[in-house]
Structure 1
Amino acid sequence: MVLSPFSGRPILSATDEAVLVWLGLASAGDEYGNRQLHKRLAQPGSALGFYSCDNGHCFETNADAFITIPGRTVSEATIHFLGFTAEKTAEIWEGWVDMYLDLPRVPNWFLCGFALDYINTTIDASNDKDDATWRRVMTILGVAASLQDFILDPAHRHIRAKHSCASWIKQTIQERYNRLRNIQTASRSRAELLEPTI
C-alpha cells in the first residue's frame, strides 16, 4: 500500500459536498488537499436545519465567512490544519508515511496522536505573563503563527495561567482535530437528510 498525500476518509460526504459546492458554501478541493467551507458549517449543530435555508442564502458569502479545511482525515493538509508550520507538517507527514506505509489499515484518529507526539514537552514555558518566551517555545516546536496568535490572545490569558505552553498546544490541537471530526459527522448527517427514503 502506498499512502498518498490524500488518504483517509473524506471530511465531507460526496452528496453533501455536491450540494455545498453548488450553493457556494464549500469549494472543490485544491491541489494541496484543502477546501474552503463556510464557518457556520463548522459549528456544533450545523447538521440541523441547514437545508431549510432558501438556496443557502441564510449564510454570508464574504471571504471572512470561510475557513480552510483538509479534504480528508489523513493527509498532510490535516496536519497543517491542526496548527503546524509547513516545515513541521512535512516532517510529521514523512514520519507518518515511514511508520505506517506497510500497514493495511490504520485508524484515522491515530494521525492526531502521532502529530501530538511531535510536541516535545521538555521544551516548555509556564509563565503566563511572558509572551516572548511562549512564542519562542511555539516557534521551536513548529507551531504555525496563526495558532501562536490564538494562544497568545489576551482573552486566553486565564487559560495560560493554568496550563504550560506545551500542554495548551496539545489541548488546542486535539480540539482542532475534534472540530474536524464534528464537521465530518455533521456532513454525514446532512447527506442522510438528502437520501431518498425507500
Structure 2
Amino acid sequence: MVQPTSQTISDEAYDLANARFPGSVSKVSDGKRKVSVSAIPSPTDSGYGSGSSSSAPPQSYSHLSVPVTLESAASLEWCGFDDYTAAMIFNDWSTDPDLLTMEHHIVEYLHEAKYKEDGDWRVAMTKIGISRQFQDRIMTPGHDFVRSFHPLRYWLEEFIVSNFLSLQTLDKRIKGASQPGQTGPVQMRGGGPKDPRSDFYYRESATITLYRVTTTARLQDVFLPNDTHDLSNAYSQPGRAHDFGHIRKGAFYYFTRQEWVIQLYAAYFPKCVNERDVCVLKVMGKEADIAPLGTRTWRMAEDDEWRELVWHSRKQAAFPESIRDKHRLTRTFIGPICVECNDNFVTKKSYKDITKANVARKGKLPKGDLGMQWVFQDKDTMSDLNSKVKVDLFKWNGPENDWYISKPRLWVDGQR
C-alpha cells in the first residue's frame, strides 16, 4: 500500500511567512523551495534569547533549499543518502503494510546496513549508500578526536535523523515565526552571576551539571507548556549500541559533566546537520537524585571491569557472568569515554588489550583530564528525573558566545 505524504512547507506556512517576511519562502522550482533564515528564527533575532557577547553570531548561510515533499526520495537525499539508496528506502517505506514512520525506516536501514565495523569509514559509507557530499561532512578535518568517541553507525543515525527531523518540524517553526508575538531587541546578559562568560558555565551549589548537544528539531517534545520538560523525549528510537550496552536493548541518553568534552561535540555537529542552530541541554540537580547510590548506578574507573564491559558492548557479544547480572540491574552508567572504537578497538582479541590510548583525555598521557560519559538507559529513568532537575537550553556559537534561551518552548516552536 502507498503511504500518505506531507509537505515540508504547507501553503499556509508559505502565505504566513511571505506576509510577514516578503520573499522569505520561494515558490516551488524543480521540486524545491528556498527558505530564508529570516523565516526560521534564532535566539539572536528574537526576544527570547540573551548572550554573553554584545554582537549577534554571524550566519553561515542566508537560505536553505528544501524538498517540497517530506516523505520522498528527495528528502532522503537531502538528509545524506545517495540517489539510489534514497529511492530504495522510500520505496520500502511507501509499501510498508505496518505504516511505520519514515524516521523509523531510516533508523532501521542504518541498523541493518552491513559493513566492516573496523574498516575505512569512507568505504563503509559508500557501501551503504551515503552520498559523497555527506561523507565529506562526516569526515570534516579537525574533528578526528570527537569522531572517535563513537562508531560510525552512531554518527550516521545522529546526523541523518536530525536532518530528517529538521524537515519534519520546518512547517511548524515557520508558522510560529510568522505569527505576531513578542518582539524587541535582544537582551544581552553581559556575563553570568558568577562567571564572566555566561550562565552556561555557572554551577549552583550542591548540584552537578550535565550537558548534551542536540538540535532544535530534536527538542519538539522535550520542552513542554508551562515551563515543564520531559527528558525522556531527548533521543530517537530504537536505541543505539554504546560503550555500556548492546544495540536494540533500550533507549540510551548520553551526557557529560565536562565542558571540554561538550565543546568538541558542539563544534562537530554544525558540520553535519542541516540545521541553523546547534543547542546544548544543561541539566542541573543533586547527584543523589541523578545517580543514586545502589545497584541502579554503575560507576566505573579506568579498570578491568570497565574494559570488560566496553569490549563486550562494542563487539555486541554476550556479557560474561561476572558482569551480566550487574548490567541487567543498572540504569545509569558512569565511566570513561572510549576512543579509536573503529580503527583498532573492536579488533582487539581481549578486553585486556584495551590501553590508556583507548581513553579520551584532555592533555597528554597519563595525567590528562579523563573524559567521562553519563549514559542513562530507558525512558523511565529519564522520566524519573523530570521533577528533580532544572533544565536550561543554550544556542551554541562557541565557548565564549553561547546564547541562553529563556523561553525554550516558544523558541522551539519558532515563535518570536
Q: Find 2:14's aligned residue among 14, 17, 23.
A: 17
Q: Find 1:150's aligned residue among 115, 133, 137.
A: 137
Name whichever of 115-124 and 149-158 sits farther off: 115-124
Verify the 8 A CA contact 1:21 1:28 in the aligned structure 2. Answer: no
SS in 2 for 1:99: coil
TM-score using structure 1 length: 0.68
Separation (CA, whole Å) in 1 of partners of 2:67 and 2:151: 28
Q: In 2 relative to 1, CA 146–157 (structure 1 residues): closer, same or farther, beyond 3 Å?
A: same
Q: How many residues are treated as equivalent by the alignment?
A: 166
Map of 1:53 onto structure 2: none
Map of 2:233 onto structure 1: none
Map of 2:105 onto structure 1: 114
Per-residue CA distance 1:21-60 (angstroms, 9 max, x = gap): 572322222343x2222245456559957xxxxxxxxxxx
Map of 2:407 onto structure 1: none
Per-residue CA distance 1:111-154 (angstroms, 9 max, x = gap): 02202222245414457xxxxx2111111110112211110002
Q: Which runs of 5+ in 2 are unaligned?
A: 48-60, 182-416
Separation (CA, whole Å) in 2 of partners of 1:184 and 1:138: 30
Verify the 8 A CA contact 2:2 2:95 in the aligned structure 1. Answer: no
Separation (CA, whole Å) in 2 of partners of 1:13 and 1:47: 24
Q: Which amino acid aligns with 1:38?
A: S
Map of 1:165 onto structure 2: 152
Separation (CA, whole Å) in 1 of partners of 2:38 and 2:132: 24
Q: Which runs of 5+ in 1 are unaligned?
A: 50-63, 128-132
Identity across aligned pairs (percent)?
Answer: 19
Q: In 2 relative to 1, CA 185–174 (structure 1 residues): closer, same or farther, beyond 3 Å?
A: same
Name whichever of 35-44 and 83-92 sits farther off: 35-44
Map of 1:66 onto structure 2: 63
TM-score using structure 2 length: 0.35
Q: Which amino acid aligns with 1:96?
A: W
Q: Find 2:84's aligned residue among 80, 87, 92.
A: 87
Q: Which amino acid aligns with 1:85?
A: D
* Per-residue deviation, 1:69: 1.3
Map of 1:193 onto structure 2: 180
Greater per-residue strand proportion: 2
Verify the 8 A CA contact 2:41 2:177 in the aligned structure 1. Answer: no
Separation (CA, whole Å) in 2 of partners of 1:78 and 1:188: 20
Q: Which amino acid aligns with 2:115?
A: I
SS in 2 for 1:16: helix
SS in 1 for 2:95: helix
Map of 2:72 onto structure 1: 75
Separation (CA, whole Å) in 2 of partners of 1:180 and 1:192: 20
Map of 1:141 onto structure 2: 128
Separation (CA, whole Å) in 1 of partners of 2:108 and 2:158: 12
Q: Find 2:35's aligned residue among 18, 34, 37.
A: 37
Give me the CA root mean square deviation. Answer: 3.1
Separation (CA, whole Å) in 2 of partners of 1:86 and 1:78: 10
Map of 1:123 onto structure 2: 115
Q: Which amino acid aligns with 2:167?
A: L
Separation (CA, whole Å) in 1 of partners of 2:136 and 2:177: 33
Q: In 2 relative to 1, CA 158–185 (structure 1 residues): closer, same or farther, beyond 3 Å?
A: farther
Q: In 2 relative to 1, CA 181–45 (structure 1 residues): closer, same or farther, beyond 3 Å?
A: farther
Larger-gyration structure (1/2)? 2
Map of 1:184 onto structure 2: 171
Separation (CA, whole Å) in 2 of partners of 1:186 and 1:165: 30
Separation (CA, whole Å) in 1 of partners of 2:107 and 2:90: 12
SS in 1 for 2:150: coil
Per-residue CA distance 1:71-108 (angstroms, 9 max, x = gap): 233222221221110010111111112214xx7xx47x
Greater RCO (Cα-Cα under 8 Å, separation 6 or more): 1
Q: Which amino acid aligns with 1:36?
A: K
